């Protein structure tokens, strides 16, 4: 049984789906200039590429031999069907992808200017992803998953905001208090200020669900933004974001402390830092000839979630694991003997060495992605990552 079919079978039966990562949120078309270092107005031409952080992560996980599903909405148009086809071609389960006949697929124009600043222009007035209704969610698929991954763009407007919150509610209500089999909630805010009414609205919106996640990944720029100008390279500042989850947690979380187990701060080519309840540290990145940084953060997330979802399996318990063992496990519908949900995350965090190894893998995924233009076209497979890791 293939990974996608196995996910469907597990969801319909209500059974846990070991190793499955469900990515919720937006998928869109990115238009990127055909040359580097120009503003959008100066670009002579644009190349279209599939985009949207949650979709990028889903494809990234599948490319790495994992099991992934995408949950979201696109337009009932040429671009929407193109995106759905790209997900399928890359082995992502699309059973939870919805099409809207009344709205277009979102478009984004993005460039990296000569001054190093990214420039965005979005066409969402509204776009189909913004119109996802709570009743359109595939809750059995989500609650059967080992990991639910999401961003913050789906929190900006209703009805998608209500759908996002309903999804989190369903995951939490399906997980027994403190259960090691609970679905992991993974959050990458993916800050896009132009999409929010104001910077204050963006900060409040992102932090409104901060204490509901077990894993959070932020960039150094996002650390500064969320802490109102705090030093993004200060361990104390980043630790304050980890502690914020515990300060804001309530009895409704089902535990006497915050849910957050792991905070990751990415620093581009410099690598990443990690913070848990008991330890913290950093893992160096890889030096490459970068062409386009679009999607590098999503590739990093795909890498670490691939390792988390496979934690405790025969392909990870002995170390880094070979691509062959992981690929064969994936083909059979999941990683052999993989732990499920929080049990997998706790297994990984119990040994700092294992976490550091997983983060080195994630750093390699991010670095490789910067060497090819576009996000999804640049996402690496296991063989390419293994070559970089040596």
Cα(359)–Cα(380) distance, integer angstroms: 15
The low-confidence residues of the chain, meaning pLDDT below 50, are 1-3, 6-7, 11-13, 177, 250-256, 314-315, 317-334
Closest CA to 52 of 124, 148, 139, 125: 124
Length of the chain: 390
Query: What is the b/e burial string over 18-46, where b = at least 16 CB atoms within 10 angstroms of the residue's CB?
Result: bbbbbbbbbbbbbbbbeeeebebeebeee
- How much is the pLDDT for 317? 43
Q: What is the pLDDT of residues 204-234, one digit of tens each?
A: 999 999 999 999 999 999 999 999 999 999 9
Closest CA to 148 of 57, 256, 229, 266: 57
Query: CA 62, CA 85: separation in Å to the nearest integer?
Result: 14
Q: How far apart are CA 80 and CA 107, in angstroms?
A: 11
**Burial level of 257, CB count in 10 A (0-12/13-18/19+)?**
exposed
The predicted pLDDT at position 347 comes to: 95
Neighbours of 318 (CB within 10 A): 10
284 DSSP assignment: E
CB-based burial, 175-210: b 16+ in 10 Å, e otherwise:
beeeeeebbbbbbbbbbbeebbeeeeebbebbbebb
Q: What are the Cα distances from residue 191, in Å, to 125, 297, 362?
A: 19, 12, 20
β-pair type (184-187, 145-150): parallel
Phi, psi of 121 (to 5 degrees): -140, 120
Taking the C-alpha atoms of residue 15 and residue 369, their distance in angstroms, rounded to an integer, is 34
Strands of the sheet containing 67-75, edge to edge, are: 93-100, 67-75, 17-24, 145-150, 184-187, 215-219, 262-266, 271-275, 280-284
Give the 3-state secondary structure of residue 90.
coil
**Contact 59/301 with Cβ under 8 angstroms?**
no
In whole angstroms, what is the distance from residue 145 CA to residue 138 CA?
A: 11
- According to DSSP, residue 105 is labeled P
**Hey, how many other C-beta atoms are within 10 angstroms of the C-beta on 352?**
15
pLDDT value at residue 321: 37
| pLDDT tens by residue, 11-61 | 444 556 679 999 999 999 988 888 878 888 989 999 888 999 999 999 999
- 157 with 188: CB under 8 angstroms? no
At 120, give phi and psi (nearest 5°). Answer: -120, 145
Q: pTM of the entire structure?
A: 0.88
Q: Are 46 and 31 in contact (CB under 8 A)?
A: yes
**SS3 label, residue 24:** strand
DSSP alpha helix (H) spans, 310-339: 323-331
3-state class of 71 per DSSP?
strand
Residue pair 21/305 in contact by the 8 Å Cβ criterion? yes
In Å, how far from its chain's centre is CA 313?
Answer: 21
């Amino acid at each position: 049984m293939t990974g996608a079919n196995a996910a469907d079978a597990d969801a319909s039966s209500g059974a846990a789906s070991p190793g499955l990562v469900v990515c919720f949120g937006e998928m869109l078309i990115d238009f990127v200039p055909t040359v580097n270092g120009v503003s959008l107005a100066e670009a002579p031409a644009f190349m279209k590429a599939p985009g949207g952080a949650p979709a990028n992560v889903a494809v990234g996980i599948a490319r790495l031999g994992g099991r992934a599903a995408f949950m979201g909405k696109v337009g009932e148009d040429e671009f929407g069907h193109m995106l759905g086809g790209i997900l399928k071609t890359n082995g992502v389960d699309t059973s939870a992808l919805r099409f809207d006949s009344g709205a277009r697929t979102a478009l984004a124009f993005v460039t990296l200017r000569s001054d190093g600043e990214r420039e965005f222009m979005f066409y969402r007035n509204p776009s189909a992803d913004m119109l996802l209704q709570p009743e359109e969610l595939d809750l059995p698929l989500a609650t059967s998953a080992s990991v639910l991954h999401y961003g913050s763009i789906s929190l900006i407007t209703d009805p998608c905001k209500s759908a996002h919150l309903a999804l989190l509610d369903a995951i939490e209500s399906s997980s027994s208090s403190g259960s090691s089999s609970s679905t992991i909630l993974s959050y990458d805010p993916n800050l896009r200020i132009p999409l929010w009414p104001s910077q204050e609205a963006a900060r409040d919106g992102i932090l409104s669900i901060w204490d509901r996640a077990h894993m959070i990944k932020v960039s150094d720029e996002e650390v500064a933004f969320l802490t109102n100008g705090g030093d993004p390279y200060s361990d104390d500042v980043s630790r304050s974001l980890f502690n914020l989850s515990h300060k804001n947690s309530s009895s409704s979380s089902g535990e006497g402390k915050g849910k957050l187990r792991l905070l990751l701060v990415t620093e581009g080519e410099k690598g990443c830092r990690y913070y848990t309840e008991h330890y913290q540290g950093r893992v160096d990145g890889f030096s490459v000839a970068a062409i386009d940084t679009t999607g590098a953060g999503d590739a990093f997330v795909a890498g670490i979630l691939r390792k988390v979802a496979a934690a405790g399996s025969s392909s990870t318990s002995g170390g880094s694991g070979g691509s062959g063992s992981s690929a064969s496990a994936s083909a059979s519908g999941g990683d052999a003997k993989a732990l499920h949900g929080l049990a997998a995350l706790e297994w990984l965090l119990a040994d700092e060495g294992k976490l550091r190894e997983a983060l080195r893998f994630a750093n390699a995924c991010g670095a490789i992605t910067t060497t090819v233009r576009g996000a999804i076209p640049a996402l690496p497979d296991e063989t390419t990552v293994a070559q970089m890791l040596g």
